[in-house]
């Protein structure tokens, strides 16, 4: 999800890449810095939102070998200047949390960060980002940093995904019909056709939200508004729906794990339609005059007469496809769960029934919901309660009881026995349990060993 927080950089490098300074400096640059800067300037000049100044937000790109920092007001000393580019600095290696499509804090400043799919110029397999694609991703990240500052109450809580209700045949079908109808609305040439398809999409959208509790509905609408609009800004800057709509709905989410992606697509498509039917929607949304994107769109298209949309045959086809996909997804999850449980090696289970571990950060892209109360984490996460902090790079199962807090966390397949270190002096009472990609720091917990299994029992909250 990536972490909330996250624009696209695009296009082929400009012909005639400028040589930067001396020959020695040029040999130090394996990445087309000036081409990216030119593409960023072009993409950002076409973006429009009240108060948004893309060039005021720094950016960082990791190309597989070095990290390039653009327009940072106070760059850390680890970043060295590049001759001929006074606004760009370079760090050998990957700096901190700079990764694909994420915002990171460098110094005291939030930075729009991403990485190329592989080092530019690497002849190996995989496809590197073009400069245009990179510029678009960066714009998207910059816009989310801007929104988080300007409207902090818009930022979705990624922890809610841990307790999002699993999809069933009905909810997945409604989601598929909703997205298909909204896409046709955006693609329609005549306003009457666009309005009819938009109404069809909103109808199924409202039906699906009616099956969810109020907190989950609020989570979806926050995703639509925060990430969906950022996706719209990225796509619109690259040339509008004709140029990018196929990418927006390149692969319709299967639900469950695809909940954020589905909401982002819905928000993006509704934004395109608001741009068409409500020209001042950006100003009104930014000022607080609009809170519900769907309601605003429904009001704008209400005057158009209804027209036929999906046929019965199309709806049956969508339903059957959803049923097949859901069955395949559930089978894959069962297999993944069994593989996780039967991994050879050490295993660690943390039990904290009285004081659940609260999620601090979650990699939503690496999250797999196994059941309504169990989640498998293939990416990094951090949990914390009053007595401990747990950091895992990936490969853990968390168990919940209807809230995002984890009452149990399990790691399997560890090659080495976790090391237990007790603090001394001022840190007396602190215990650190550490193994590969896995660190627990806390006070007062007990560790019970049985063969290759370790059970860690965390204390309850302070009285």
CB contact set of 237 (below 8 Å; sequence gap of 6+): 7, 8, 43, 44, 46, 47, 136, 139
Are 131 and 201 members of one domain? no
Q: What is the pLDDT of residue 151?
A: 95
Query: Looking at 267, 283, 301, which one is the last position of a domain?
Result: 301
Domain membership flag for residue 391: yes
Predicted TM-score of the model (pTM): 0.83
Q: What is the pLDDT of residue 241?
A: 55
Q: What is the pLDDT of residue 248?
A: 54
Are 31 and 137 members of one domain? yes
Q: Are 429 and 360 in contact (CB under 8 A)?
A: no
Q: What is the pLDDT of residue 244?
A: 52
Q: Are 405 and 425 in contact (CB under 8 A)?
A: no
Q: What is the pLDDT of residue 48?
A: 87
**Would the pLDDT of 197 be above 90?**
yes
Q: What value does the mean pLDDT take over residues 162-190?
A: 91
Query: Looking at 106, 129, 148, which one is the last position of a domain?
Result: 148
Are 141 and 166 members of one domain? no
| pLDDT, tens only, 228-245 | 999 999 888 876 555 455
- Domain with 393, as residue range(s), is 343-457
Q: What value does the mean pLDDT take over residues 41-50?
A: 87
Domain membership flag for residue 260: yes
| pLDDT, tens only, 375-389 | 999 888 899 999 899
SS3 353: coil
Rounded Cα gap, residues 240 and 243, in angstroms: 6
Domain membership flag for residue 138: yes
Rounded Cα gap, residues 458 and 164, in angstroms: 26
Pairwise pLDDT comparison (20 vs 343), residue with the higher score = 343
| pLDDT, tens only, 129-167 | 688 888 888 999 999 999 999 999 999 988 888 888 888
Q: Taking the CB of residue 39, how many other CB atoms lie within 10 A of it? A: 25
Domain membership flag for residue 274: yes
> Please, what sign has the CA dihedral across residues 351, 355, 361, 362?
positive
Across the beta sheet with 396-400, the strand order is: 367-371, 374-377, 396-400, 406-414, 346-351, 453-457, 446-450
Pairwise pLDDT comparison (225 vs 361), residue with the higher score = 225
Query: Looking at 122, 148, 174, which one is the last position of a domain?
Result: 148
Domain membership flag for residue 326: no
Are 248 and 118 members of one domain? no
Are 209 and 141 members of one domain? no
Radius of gyration of the chain from its Cα atoms, rounded to whole angstroms:
24
Number of domains into which the chain is organized? 3
Are 173 and 219 members of one domain? yes
Are 203 and 136 members of one domain? no
Distance of CA 197 to CAs 200, 202, 242, Å?
A: 5, 9, 17
Are 166 and 285 members of one domain? yes
Rounded Cα gap, residues 386 and 441, in angstroms: 11
Domain membership flag for residue 388: yes
Rounded Cα gap, residues 17 and 433, in angstroms: 50
**Would the pLDDT of 204 be above 80?**
yes
Rounded Cα gap, residues 396 and 410, in angstroms: 6
Rounded Cα gap, residues 331 and 18, in angstroms: 53
Q: Rounded to the nearest 5°, which phi and psi values hold at 112? A: -80, 115
Determine the distance from the C-alpha atom of residue 402 to the mean position of all C-alpha atoms in its chain, rounded to a whole number: 23
Domain membership flag for residue 383: yes
Q: What value does the mean pLDDT take over residues 57-78?
A: 91
**Would the pLDDT of 331 be above 80?**
yes
**Would the pLDDT of 333 be above 60?**
yes
Q: Are 58 and 70 in contact (CB under 8 A)?
A: yes
Q: Are 134 and 114 in contact (CB under 8 A)?
A: yes
Are 134 and 169 members of one domain? no
Are 162 and 139 members of one domain? no
**Would the pLDDT of 119 be above 70?**
no
First-to-last alpha carbon distance for the chain, in angstroms, is 36
Domain membership flag for residue 174: yes
pLDDT band at 372 (very low <50, low <70, confident <90, very high): confident
Cα dihedral value 79, 82, 144, 276, nearest 10:
-170
174-177: long-range pairs with CB below 8 Å, 24+: 174/204, 174/205, 174/207, 174/208, 175/208, 175/253, 175/255, 175/262, 176/252, 176/318, 176/321, 176/322, 177/201, 177/204, 177/310, 177/315, 177/318
Are 107 and 168 members of one domain? no
| pLDDT, tens only, 241-282 | 554 555 555 445 444 456 778 888 999 999 999 999 999 999
Distance of CA 10 to CAs 41, 55, 169, 237, 297, Å?
A: 11, 17, 38, 10, 30
Are 93 and 221 members of one domain? no
Q: Are 31 and 68 in contact (CB under 8 A)?
A: yes
**Would the pLDDT of 15 be above 90?**
no
pLDDT band at 100 (very low <50, low <70, confident <90, very high): low
Pairwise pLDDT comparison (296 vs 33), residue with the higher score = 296
Q: What value does the mean pLDDT take over residues 302-321?
A: 93
């Amino acid at each position: 999800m990536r972490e909330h927080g996250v624009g696209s950089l695009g296009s082929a490098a400009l012909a005639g890449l400028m040589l930067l300074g001396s020959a020695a400096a040029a040999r130090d640059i394996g990445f087309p810095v000036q081409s990216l800067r030119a593409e960023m300037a072009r993409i950002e000049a076409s973006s429009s939102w009240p108060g948004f100044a893309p060039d005021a937000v720094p950016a960082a790109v990791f190309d597989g070998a070095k990290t390039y920092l653009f327009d940072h007001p106070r760059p850390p000393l680890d970043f060295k200047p590049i001759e001929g580019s006074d606004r760009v600095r370079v760090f050998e290696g990957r700096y901190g949390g700079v990764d694909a499509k994420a915002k990171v804090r460098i110094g005291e400043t939030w930075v729009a960060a991403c990485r190329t799919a592989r080092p530019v110029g690497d002849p190996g397999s995989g496809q590197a980002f073009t400069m245009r694609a990179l510029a678009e991703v960066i714009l998207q990240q910059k816009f989310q940093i801007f929104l988080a500052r300007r409207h902090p109450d818009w930022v979705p809580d990624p922890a809610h995904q841990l307790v999002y209700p699993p999809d069933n045949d009905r909810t997945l079908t409604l989601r598929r019909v909703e997205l298909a109808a909204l896409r046709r609305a955006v693609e329609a040439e005549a306003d009457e056709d666009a309005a009819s398809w938009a109404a069809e999409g909103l109808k199924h959208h409202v039906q699906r939200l009616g099956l969810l509790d109020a907190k989950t509905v609020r989570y979806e609408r926050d995703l639509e508004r925060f990430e969906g609009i950022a996706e719209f800004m990225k796509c619109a800057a690259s040339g509008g729906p004709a140029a990018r709509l196929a990418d927006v709905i390149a692969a319709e989410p299967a639900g469950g794990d695809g909940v954020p992606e589905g909401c982002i697509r819905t928000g993006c498509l509704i934004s395109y339609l608001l741009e068409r039917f409500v020209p001042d929607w950006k100003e009104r949304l930014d000022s607080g005059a609009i809170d519900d994107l769907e309601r605003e769109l429904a009001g704008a298209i209400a005057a158009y007469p209804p027209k036929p949309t999906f046929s019965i045959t199309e709806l049956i086809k969508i339903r059957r496809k959803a049923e097949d996909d859901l069955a395949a997804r559930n089978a894959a999850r069962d297999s993944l769960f069994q593989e996780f449980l039967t991994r050879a090696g050490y295993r660690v289970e943390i039990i904290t029934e009285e004081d659940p571990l609260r999620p601090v950060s979650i990699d939503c892209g690496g999250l797999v919901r196994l059941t309504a109360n169990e989640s498998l984490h293939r990416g990094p996460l951090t949990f914390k309660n009053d007595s401990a902090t747990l950091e895992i790079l990936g490969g853990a199962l968390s168990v919940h009881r209807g809230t995002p807090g984890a009452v149990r966390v399990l790691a399997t397949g560890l090659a080495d026995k976790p090391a237990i270190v007790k603090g001394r002096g001022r840190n007396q009472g602190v215990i650190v349990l550490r193994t590969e990609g896995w660190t627990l720091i806390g006070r007062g917990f007990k560790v019970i060993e049985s063969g290759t299994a370790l059970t860690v029992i965390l204390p309850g909250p302070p009285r």
